Amino acid sequence: MLVKWIRCTVVDRRGFERGQRKWAGLLGEPGFRGQGGGWSRAREGVVHLVAFWESRALYDSFMARSHDRLATAQLGTFKDMRVRLFEHRMDVKLGFEPRFEGADVLRLAHCRVHEERVEHFTLMQEKVWNPAMAGSPGMLRGVLGQSEEGDFLVLSMWSSAAEHGKYREDRVERLALRAQTAADVAALAGDVVDLESSWTV
């Protein structure tokens, strides 16, 4: 599975939201599995969207054929768009499905990992982080993806901001020490996103 992460800054909110509804046209595209997103809780006007595709080949085919027709509705409504692609490496909670039902909040953690520590980093995701997140009340589903450049995206969906906040307060510092995250990760950027249900495809 391919995970596409889009981040941009919206300059015309009404126009952007109107255009966002046009992405319902993704339904029926070969290989499309789901898309959703919303507004950053920390950064004014910043939007994050994530889309799931069965394979890179089917995604590339969509980009060559249909993408531009759907995207025209949002031209001029945003700036500073960044798009990153990640291949699925593992589920954060077993049985990941690319759907957004029940989720109010999306947590994104983008990790640039030291090359010689990639194996350790992925092992710690499997043995330390994933079980801790999977066992946290309110954590619904998640996925770890890796880009061609070697960086990682940890994506998790939560039933509420309050549940995600409790997990952060209670456990993150302790888990980071146990997983030796400081030694693995060269740079970490993250965001918490309030999901907009009307954007879900």
* pLDDT tens string 61-96: 999 999 999 999 999 999 999 999 999 999 998 889
Burial of 162 (0-12, 13-18, 19+ CB in 10 A): exposed
The pLDDT of 112-140, averaged and rounded, is 94
Q: Is the pTM of this model over 0.75?
A: yes
pLDDT at 142 over 90: yes
112-151: b (≥16 Cβ within 10 Å) or e:
ebeeebeeebbebbeebbbebbeebebbbbbbbbbbeeeb
Q: What are phi and psi of 140, to 5 degrees?
A: -95, -50
First to last CA, the chain: 17
pLDDT tens digits for range 1-47: 999 999 999 999 999 999 999 999 999 999 999 999 999 999 999 99
Q: What are phi and psi of 135, to 5 degrees?
A: -90, 0
pLDDT at 163 over 80: yes
Q: What are the start-end ranges of the H helices in 125-188?
A: 130-134, 161-167, 173-179, 181-184
Kindly list the structural domains of the chain, giving each domain's residue range(s) and its CATH number in brackets, ordered by start.
2-199 (3.30.70.100)
Give me the chain's average pLDDT, please. 95
The pLDDT of 135-147, averaged and rounded, is 95
Q: What are phi and psi of 150, to 5 degrees?
A: 100, 0
CB-CB contact of 133 with 107 (8 Å): no
pLDDT tens digits for range 167-185: 888 788 899 999 999 999 9
The pLDDT of 97-110, averaged and rounded, is 96
